[in-house]
Structure formats: C-alpha cells, structure tokens
Structure 1
Amino acid sequence: MDETDRKLLKALQQDAQMTAQDLGDYLNLSPSQAGRRRARLEEQGYIRAYAARLDPTRLGLQVQAFVQVQMESQSPESARAFLRLVNFRSEVTSVWTLTGNSDYLMRVYCSDLSALNVLIHEVLLPHPSVARVQSQIVLDHVKQDAPLPTDHG
C-alpha cells in the first residue's frame, strides 16, 4: 500500500460513488489506472463493501441507544444462542464483544422508547443466557461515524 492507495481509500470513504474518472482526477492518474487500483484494493480486502448511510430519523427511528449485556453463562452454546437472537433483530445494528463488566455492547435504533423497552424487557432479559442489561440512550450524535484513518503509516 502506497500513498496513492491511502489517498484513494480516503476519497472513497468520503464518496463511495466516485467514478474511475473522478478518482483519476483526484489522484492525478488516468481513469484506468485509478480503476485498477480500486479493483486491487477490493480484491485484497481493504475495501469490504459499499453502502449508503441512511438517516434514521427520516426512517422513523427516533431512539438510538447503546445496550450493554452481561451474560449469565460464558459457555460457547450460550454465546451462540444469544448471538442468534440478536442477529435476527433488525433494530440491533452493531454488536461488539468487550472486556470488563459487560460481555456485549450493542447499538440499537428503535422507533420510540416503548420499542426500546420491549427489546430490553421482552426480548433480551428473558433470554436464559442474559444476566443483566444496561442501556444508554443517545441524546445527540455530535460526531458522525468518521472515515477510518488511512495515513497512520
């Protein structure tokens, strides 16, 4: 990966719809050279996917929350059962495993507080593997998900 590749990745994180012509102009390369570089970075796994960022409020998702889950059991079967559950819940958009008191951190988007309450009290807490659930409701998203740094060396 050279400096031109880093610039290309940075540009695509800002606008994934850039054409080979746009990338070529930005990188001072021909469109075919820029296109080949992009294809190589895709093949090598640097670029995993292209996606649209949607506005949750326009979709009626008024509540964003982070939900921490502490498991009752640390067995592989319990973890698989819990992950099967959250993978089928569309309001759960991200799940991370953690060190510390909580085993999982989830980002969820719900239509309202009532829907969040249902998710916590009727879906997560009744699960036999779950010991404790703690949620934090997002008041304001002051820095949007930023592009990954590409200039770290």
Structure 2
Amino acid sequence: METAGKTPITVQATVNAPIAKVWEFWTKPEHITQWCNASDDWHAPFADNDPRTGGKFKTTMAAKDGSFSFDFEGVYTNVRDNEVIEYALGDGREVKIDFVANGDVTEITETFDPETTNPIEMQQGGWQAILNNFKKHAEANA
C-alpha cells in the first residue's frame, strides 16, 4: 500500500459558473452542507465557516447510516476573495485552493498534503469526488 510522502496531491475541476457564484457556494455553510461529501452514502450535516485569514472552519462529514462521522476543520492562513484559499488542518497538513476566472467559467485547483493512513490514490479519489460534487452543485445553482 502506497502511503503519503512529502509530495502534495492535486485535484482540479472546471466549473461552468462565474467566480462570484463559485466563491459563494464554496464558502457559505448552507452550500457547504449540500456538496461536501465524496459519495451518496455520506453527507455533511453541519458546516461553520469564517473565510478570512485567521478564521476557522469546521464541517462534519458523516455516513448517512450513522455508523461514522468526523469533523474536518482547520484555520485559514491566507484568503483572497475570488482568488485563493489556504489553510492548515489540525494535524499540520496544508491545503491551497486556487480559483481562476475565465468569463463565466471558473477553474479550481486544490493542492493538499497527504495524510499517512490511506493510500495516495484513495485520498486523491476522495478529494476529487468532493470537488466533482461541488462542480455539480455550483452548476445546478448558478
């Protein structure tokens, strides 16, 4: 089983929605709870977000059958509206999300430090699935 090294993982999506809507859907808790899950048997029943440098966020991710849940949380280290979000997770891993507007299309590139428990492929697949859910939510609501 390949586990995390020092090489960050990147996932990407092209969202057919303007940057202002993409930013709103990414940062507002009422939207986060609608898209922040990797599969249909999971959901995000709670989200709290203060999207500014020094602000904190927490999203509860839970199996719909109630068998497991965890809080995904951290502190923002750099936030520039409609451009970039960087944060540190509680375990010290770092994440950077770039938002690039091109007319009514927004490119999202998310780069994160892997954890050491799960295989790299599983982590990349999970984060990509969440980003794909975001794309679906943003395009349906823009």
Q: TM-score scaled to structure 1, two decimals?
A: 0.30
Greater Rg over alpha carbons, structure: 1
Q: TM-score scaled to structure 2, two decimals?
A: 0.32
Q: Name the one with the larger helix percent.
A: 1
Q: Answer 1 or 2: higher relative contact order, Cα 8 Å, separation at least 6.
A: 2
Q: Name the one with the larger strand percent.
A: 2
